[in-house]
Chain A
Amino acid sequence: MSDSQGPIWEVFVQKKPGQPFVHCGSLHAFDKEMALQNARDLYTRRSEGTALWVVPSSAIVSSSPEDLGPFFEPANDKVYRHPTFYQIPEGVKHI
């Protein structure tokens, strides 16, 4: 939603190099540079991160609650995608 405060951006912080970027909140900013700077001033005041992403909220596509069943439940019975599904003879190592 864009208003006199500028569009909304979503902020993702990477805690340490190598770790995933995690959503930590939103803010308003008028341009990319401002969004990045505001994210730094808002969400890393207490050394919460070492890298930042900012993404316009409008660019995010999300699933809907009604997708819960069709999207995610079919995965529940696909146990063969998990390593524990398979039996390895005792004594065999490094597998």
Chain B
Amino acid sequence: MKNHDKYHLIFAYESRIFVAMENANTNPKMEEWFDAKLQKNEMVEPKDWMPDNYRKHLIRQISQHAHSEIVGMLPEGNWITRAPSLRAKIVLLAKVQDEGGHGLYLYTAAETLGVSRDELLDALHTGKAKYSSIFNYPTLTWADIGAVGWLVDGAAIMNQVMLQRTSYGPYARAMVRICKEESFHQRQGYESICHLAFGTEEQKQMAQDALNRWWWPTLMMFGPTDANSPNSANAIKWKIKRESNDQLRQRFINQTIPQIEYLGLTVPDPDLKWNEEKNGYDFGTPNWDEFMAVISGNGPCNKERLKARVDAHKGGEWVRAAAKAHADKKREMEFAA
């Protein structure tokens, strides 16, 4: 854009700022400016004007993402005290802690959009906000920890790599940091599964069983098919999302099948076969009824996961109150001094 165009837009913006505040939702001029900004791949920053729907979409997506990280600590945390070696215990502890950190980066990114962490947590605790339904599945055996790291984190990384280029600055910056930290998660998962797949007969069975149970839920992590994804179109238009659910799912399958073959495990999909023409695998249809059931609260662990989060929050209430009371006292003393 030439300088005088920019001036024009900024003056246009200034003269309209009050109008924009009152009626941000329907401001064709500003939306035009905003769309142009996205067209040029410019990042949107917290103080920039943005369409209400963009803001709402982001708050929804970032907070869901944050909730997923926090709830995601639970199925893996479930095995920290039972990890079968000191190394495995250290790695798992560090990994679950990372997930917590990622949740935190994301909550603070969402907060730049004018929503408080209390509001975000409240939405989670009352069931208004969603989180990735994959975490409503139980981690039944130690092999599930490997499977979660390898498959679930592997699927998540595909999304997250894309989100490093998302149009909202604070979200993109959080994702850059997250991707850097996530890089060890998938590797440790695969390493753990390797120990099992090449271990004793019992271990190998454990690995296959975990793959059987996690394969389809992992594929469903990419969301409904593009044809059935109501929010995807806007997300792509606003460059919040840059690739569709189906594209990402296909890429995940293509890269994961050889990893399964290396382990000597069987993919639990009779319809899976290589398609030379599209240079990718054809695969069966996930059980979308199950997907809908889990999303609407009827997964195997929905109630437990939510309860664990609510309990932690309520249990921590007096701790936070004490910290606040003490901080207030100290501040008063500083003023008095």
Whether A and B touch directly in their complex, counting CB atoms under 8 A apart, is answered as: yes
Interface residues of chain A, those whose CB is within 8 Å of chain B, are: 1, 3-6, 8, 24-28, 30-31, 34, 42, 45-46, 62, 64-66, 68-69, 73, 76
Q: Tell me the smallest distance from the CB of A9 to a CB of chain B, in Å.
A: 10
Residue from the list B11, B181, B320, B330 in contact with A6, Cβ < 8 A: B320
Asked if A46 and B181 sit within 8 Å, CB to CB, the answer is yes
Asked if A69 and B10 sit within 8 Å, CB to CB, the answer is yes
In the complex, A7→B230 CA distance in Å? 36
In the complex, A76→B174 CA distance in Å? 31
Asked if B13 and A1 sit within 8 Å, CB to CB, the answer is no
Given A8-B111, A66-B10, A66-B13, the answer on whether A3 and B181 have CB atoms closer than 8 Å is: no
A6 surroundings in chain B (CB, below 8 A):
320, 323-324, 327
Interface residues of chain B, those whose CB is within 8 Å of chain A, are: 3, 6-7, 10-11, 13-14, 17, 45, 47-49, 97-98, 101, 104-105, 108, 111, 116-119, 121, 173-174, 177, 181, 317, 320, 323-324, 326-327, 330
Residue from the list A27, A30, A73, A76 in contact with B104, Cβ < 8 A: A27
- Of chain B, the residue at the smallest CB distance from A66 is B14
- Of chain A, the residue at the smallest CB distance from B10 is A69
A25-B105, A45-B98 known; 7 new pairs, CB 8 Å cut-off, are: A30-B323, A30-B324, A31-B327, A46-B181, A69-B7, A69-B11, A73-B7
Q: Tell me the smallest distance from the CB of B50 to a CB of chain A, in Å.
A: 10
Q: Which A-B residue pairs are the 6 nearest by beta carbons? A: A3-B118, A30-B323, A26-B108, A31-B327, A30-B327, A69-B10
B7 surroundings in chain A (CB, below 8 A):
69, 73
Residue from the list B10, B101, B108 in contact with A68, Cβ < 8 A: B10
Given A28-B117, A65-B49, the answer on whether A4 and B101 have CB atoms closer than 8 Å is: no
Asked if A5 and B320 sit within 8 Å, CB to CB, the answer is yes
B118 surroundings in chain A (CB, below 8 A):
3-5
Given A6-B320, A69-B6, the answer on whether A62 and B47 have CB atoms closer than 8 Å is: yes
In the complex, A24→B173 CA distance in Å? 9
- Of chain A, the residue at the smallest CB distance from B112 is A26
Asked if B111 and A31 sit within 8 Å, CB to CB, the answer is no
- For the complex, would chain A's binding face be called helix, strand, loop or mixed by DSSP majority? mixed
Residue from the list A1, A3, A27, A34 in contact with B323, Cβ < 8 A: A34
B323 surroundings in chain A (CB, below 8 A):
6, 30-31, 34
In the complex, A5→B174 CA distance in Å? 20
Which has the most chain A C-beta neighbours within 10 Å: B17, B174, B327?
B327
B317 surroundings in chain A (CB, below 8 A):
4
Given A3-B116, A65-B45, the answer on whether A27 and B108 have CB atoms closer than 8 Å is: yes
Given A42-B101, A73-B3, the answer on whether A65 and B13 have CB atoms closer than 8 Å is: yes
Asked if A5 and B49 sit within 8 Å, CB to CB, the answer is no
In the complex, A46→B116 CA distance in Å? 28
In the complex, A30→B3 CA distance in Å? 45
Q: Tell me the smallest distance from the CB of B229 to a CB of chain A, in Å.
A: 31
In the complex, A46→B10 CA distance in Å? 41
In the complex, A24→B181 CA distance in Å? 14
Q: Tell me the smallest distance from the CB of A15 to a CB of chain B, in Å.
A: 14
Asked if A65 and B47 sit within 8 Å, CB to CB, the answer is yes
In the complex, A6→B317 CA distance in Å? 12
- Of chain B, the residue at the smallest CB distance from A76 is B3
- Of chain B, the residue at the smallest CB distance from A10 is B108
B111 surroundings in chain A (CB, below 8 A):
1, 8, 26
A64 surroundings in chain B (CB, below 8 A):
47
A27 surroundings in chain B (CB, below 8 A):
104, 108
Residue from the list A25, A46, A66, A73 in contact with B108, Cβ < 8 A: A25
Which has the most chain B C-beta neighbours within 10 Å: A62, A69, A73?
A69
A34 surroundings in chain B (CB, below 8 A):
323, 327
Q: Tell me the smallest distance from the CB of A24 to a CB of chain B, in Å.
A: 8
A8 surroundings in chain B (CB, below 8 A):
108, 111
